[in-house]
Amino acid sequence: MKIKFFLVSILSLLLFGFQTVNAQTEIDSLTGQLKSTTDAYVKLDLDKKIGWHYIERKPDMTLAWKYADSVKFLAENLKDEKGKMTAVYYYGVIAQMKGDFETASKNLESYITYTPSTGDSTEITKGLFHLGVVNKLS
């Protein structure tokens, strides 16, 4: 029994370590692309990807917030409503992960109100899922 637990622990450690290294490699690649582009729409897309990596794959809420701010700023300048609402969604998820359920709820409800206009059921589901987590935890 102890050997089985030991093997599972080692395997978990190896998988987690690989995922963290892989996430950092992806972030480095995206950051390199971000530095080399001048196209505002490409920057917006890259900031979204990097921000989500810092939320989900390599959690760092300070950096995730920084990229959410960048997404919001670029989207406002480009008059890109979907981009602005992506930032709102990121703010909601970041607040949820930090335990600020009031801010999370406010942002996620705003995002959920917007998503039907996109016709994208995946986006609606994402917002509802995170709002459900907030309601369960608060």
The 10s digit of each residue's pLDDT in 85-132 is: 999 999 999 999 999 999 999 999 999 999 999 999 999 999 999 999
Q: Which pLDDT score, from 0 to 100, does residue 22 have? A: 67
Report yes or no: 87 and 75 within 8 Å, Cβ to Cβ: yes
The 10s digit of each residue's pLDDT in 10-32 is: 555 445 544 555 667 888 888 88
Dig out the tokens for 29 from the structure.
Answer: 């690649």
Q: Which pLDDT score, from 0 to 100, does residue 102 have? A: 97
pTM exceeds 0.75 for this model: yes
Q: Which pLDDT score, from 0 to 100, does residue 13 have? A: 47
Residue 3 identity (one-letter amino acid) = I
Q: Which pLDDT score, from 0 to 100, does residue 47 have? A: 96
The CATH superfamily label for domain 26-137 reads Tetratricopeptide repeat domain (1.25.40.10)
The 10s digit of each residue's pLDDT in 41-87 is: 999 999 999 999 999 988 999 999 999 999 999 999 999 999 999 99
Q: Which pLDDT score, from 0 to 100, does residue 25 have? A: 83
Angle value at C-alpha 93, between 123 and 20, nearest 5 degrees: 100
- In the chain, domain spans: 26-137
Q: Which pLDDT score, from 0 to 100, does residue 81 have? A: 96
Q: Which pLDDT score, from 0 to 100, does residue 26 have? A: 86
Q: How far is the C-alpha of 47 from the C-alpha of 32, rounded, in Å?
A: 12
Q: How far is the C-alpha of 127 from the C-alpha of 72, rounded, in Å?
A: 17
Which stretches of 1-138 are DSSP H helices?
2-36, 40-52, 61-78, 81-98, 101-114, 121-137
Cα dihedral across residues 42, 120, 118, 88: positive or negative: negative
Residue with tokens 């942002």: 107
Report yes or no: 103 and 95 within 8 Å, Cβ to Cβ: yes
